[in-house]
Amino acid sequence: MNSIYVFNNRELSWLNFNERVLMQAADETVPLCERLKFIAIHSTNLDEFFMIRVAGLKDLVSAHYDEKDMSGFTPPEVLKEISVRVRRQVEKKAEIFNSVCEELKSRGVYIFDKEISFLDMEILDEIFYAEIFPLITPLILTNLDKMPFIFNMKLCFFIELEREGRMFYSLIIVPENVKKFFKIKKLGNSYYFTVENIIERYIDKIFPGYKIKDFFLFRVTRNADLPIKHEDVEDLLSAIEENISSRKWSNIVRLEIDRAHPIDLTGKIKSYLGTESGNGSGLNEDLYITGLPLDLSFLFNIKEKKKGLYYKAFKPAVPGYLKGANIFDAAKKKDIILFRPYTDFKIISKWISDAGNDKDVLSIKMTLYRTDKNSKIVEALANAASKGKHVCVVVELKARFDEENNVKWAKKLEETGCIVTYGFSDKKIHAKTFLTARKENGRIVRYVHISTGNYNEFTAGIYTDVDYITSEEETGAEITNLFNYMMGYADVYEWNRLKVSPVNLRQSLYDLIGFETNEAASGRPAKIIIKVNSVFDGKIENKIYEAGAAGADIKMIVRGICSLMPGVEGLSENISVKSIIGRFLEHARIYYFYAGGAEKVFISTADLMARNLGKRVELFYEVKDAAAKEVLMNILECNLKDDMKSWVLTGENYVKTGVGKNVKNAGFNCQEQNFQK
């Protein structure tokens, strides 16, 4: 790697992204209950970050790996910086959370406010004694040889007790089979209590005869990566099932305590857990005092009817030419391009359902990566198989944290007669496509759906993604080849419109970027616009740096991780990077290359990550239809114009663009534009 190039660290760049998410919660132009959701998103994001990324770094440290990454950090150095930045973010989150809760009081919404004096406490009494207390099992630790095993992400109370001059320590593991929170309506107001908040209020009732000296809530985060050795896997379904439960038992990577307590008390729990994890009492760097409820996921489910607490209702649209139309007939006339959530994903799910009931449809093939827990699409596939259609489904079992759900769907599909395969043990199937063959006038016509996003009815309403439907013969033939590749029939195909990783996508990107580099070096116009979720691939980034240094105009729209460092004098002055964080999660991948005036535009499932280009099956599809290209260019132009929800990266720091937080209805918000045509 050329030493003149500089890069941002992957993990620290991700933390920058999550901080941008948190700052949405501080944005006064965002409705109050939506701000709570951004706090919850920040927290759940951080949980996964520790379970996967921090866990991986700790594994490297345990293996005595101390090589520097391309950003110049060793694993111990990254862990140290993560600790500093996470503590700073957690402190900021507590400030924002308390501020939002205080504002909500003026709207009659109270979130476990300890100062409530006029609430009828009999309601809480009933909840505690009827729904919580019967499920609580306090454990006295003094009488136990060691700490009971604490599973991943379980909420627990650690209590210091006194009785007849003797000190005792107790543990309460918060039951999982009780509601996470309770809502009480009183005098037109809403009062929210989490189960742990109620336990805290009644904790003296749990220990009659004891004096409660002190207590705190804690939870541990454990390594959650699945330890599957690909070379040894013959039955991937069984391997996934066997390893899902291992997440609960793996080593501790974080200890959270809800508030500061005397050193000797926190030292007790660190000692217990440190011994259990094999780390002695060395949990100091892994200990985080939050000043917050430890599980903020309940904030997703706060429901209020008062005006102004949420975004205005958003209704996805159906384009006029598709209202009441048969998708097969519409796709024969022209290619169909849709942009979620502005256009309704039900167009796609209904089409898949209709295909299963269409007497002329002979076969259906589909990839499933992440699906909704109550997926109508899976039901439609099962129905198609029951109607005698030839249904083949490639299910990616290794979609992180959706493994259990995907195993369930895979079994259901097999039981209904679908042919189910699981791709490859050493790489994920990340391509999103649906292929159906239909007999029309004595010939077989193939219809293809290609998407940048998942077949998930829930996330389709909150993620921006592109859906593309075509009956073009070349595309149908190449997607057929892709399914043959994924299902293991062969691994060598000629692809023209379609590029596939790990086969030829990396080289295709090299060629496309290289062409712009040569054009710029020759004094001709050269331009690249890339919209993706993440960028972390030193080889690709070197090519981008070379193109920028040659004079190509390069604009990157990267929501999350970006290890490129734009704006460095003499290196990346022609490269700009912006991140858009708003109401919807920007998920679409769109690539544009000026190509000597030919202006090539692609949609893809692939980010510019080493894993996407080398360890996943991804598709990269050139859109040639003029009207569809115009739609994609409009999306890119709106993203570039946005100055309300954008953050611009210079070096390693992001700066918010646009108007001040107290100014409303000003500037340009790309997520409020009309993409529903």
Q: What tens digit of pLDDT does each residue of 27-57 get?
A: 999 999 999 999 999 999 999 999 999 998 9
pLDDT in tens, 390-439: 999 888 766 555 566 667 777 777 887 888 887 777 788 899 999 999 99
Rg (CA), the chain: 27
Domains of the chain (ranges plus CATH)? 1-107 (1.20.58.310), 137-296 (3.30.1840.10), 320-494 (3.30.870.10), 500-672 (3.30.870.10)
pLDDT for residue 404:
65
pLDDT over 70 (residue 628):
yes
State yes or no: cis peptide before 134, omega within 30 of 0.
no
Q: What is the DSSP letter of 300?
A: G
Is pLDDT of 516 > 90?
Answer: yes
Check residue 398 and give its pLDDT.
Answer: 61
418: left (phi over 0), alpha (psi -120 to 50) or beta: beta
User: Which sign, positive or negative, has the C-alpha torsion 324, 330, 331, 337?
Assistant: negative
Q: Could you tell me the pLDDT band of residue 666, with boundaries at 50, 70 and 90?
A: low
Predicted confidence band at 203 (pLDDT cuts at 50, 70, 90)?
very high
Q: At what angle do helices 75-105 and 55-62 cross, to 10 degrees?
A: 160
Residue 125 CB partners (closer than 8 Å, separation 6+)? none
The pLDDT value recorded for residue 248 is: 53
**430 catalytic, yes or no?**
yes
Tell me which residue has tokens 């050139």: 622
Structure tokens of 639? 């993203």
Q: What is the pLDDT of residue 237?
A: 46
Tokens 């003296």, located at residue:
204
- Which tokens in the block code for residue 452? 């940048």
Average predicted confidence (pLDDT) for the chain: 88
pLDDT of residue 240: 41
Sheet strands (E) in 123-244: 139-140, 156-163, 166-173, 181-186, 189-194, 211-222
Whether the predicted pLDDT of 275 surpasses 50: no
User: Which residue, among 667, 572, 612, has the nearest Cα to 4 in the 3D structure?
Assistant: 572
Distance CA 457, CA 608 (A): 26
Span 631-651, pLDDT tens digits: 999 999 999 999 999 999 988
Report the pLDDT value the prediction gives residue 621, as an integer from 0 to 100: 97
- The mean pLDDT of 348-352, rounded to a whole number, is 94
The confidence score (pLDDT) of residue 334 equals: 95
Query: Model-level pTM?
Result: 0.91
> Which range has the worst mean pLDDT, 69-83, 215-229, 497-511, 588-602?
215-229
Confidence of residue 105 (pLDDT cuts 50, 70, 90): very high
Name the 3-class secondary structure at 387.
Answer: coil
Active-site choice (42, 261, 430, 449): 430
Closest listed residue to residue 453, CA positions, set 345, 378, 318: 345
For residues 37 and 299, the answer to whether their CB atoms sit within 8 Å is yes
52-80: pLDDT as tens digits: 999 989 988 888 888 999 999 999 999 99
- Report which of 164, 171, 163, 167 is spatially closest to residue 210, judged by C-alpha positions: 163
Three-class secondary structure assignment of 86-109: HHHHHHHHHHHHHHHHHHHHCCCE
Mean pLDDT score, 290-313: 94
**In three state form, how does the secondary structure of 570-634 look?**
CCCCCEEEEEECCCCEECCEEEEECHHHCCEEEEECCCEEHHHHHCEEEEEEEECCHHHHHHHHH
Query: How many angstroms separate the Cα of 7 from the Cα of each of 263, 548, 591?
Result: 40, 15, 22
Distance of CA 500 to the CA centre of its chain: 23
pLDDT at 112 over 60: yes
Summarised one tens digit per residue, pLDDT across range 221-246 is 998 875 545 444 445 445 444 544 55
Which of helix, strand or coil describes residue 37? Answer: helix
Quote the pLDDT of residue 667: 86
- What was the pLDDT predicted at 406? 65
pLDDT score of 115:
57
SS (H, E, C) 210-238: CEEEEEEEEEEEECCCCCCCHHHCCCHHH
Percent of the chain with pLDDT over 70: 88
Q: How confident is the model at residue 278 (pLDDT cuts 50, 70, 90)?
A: very low
The CA-based angle 468-474-478, given to 5 degrees, is 80
Backbone angles phi, psi at 33, to 5 degrees: -70, -25
CA 608 – CA 589 distance, rounded (Å) = 10
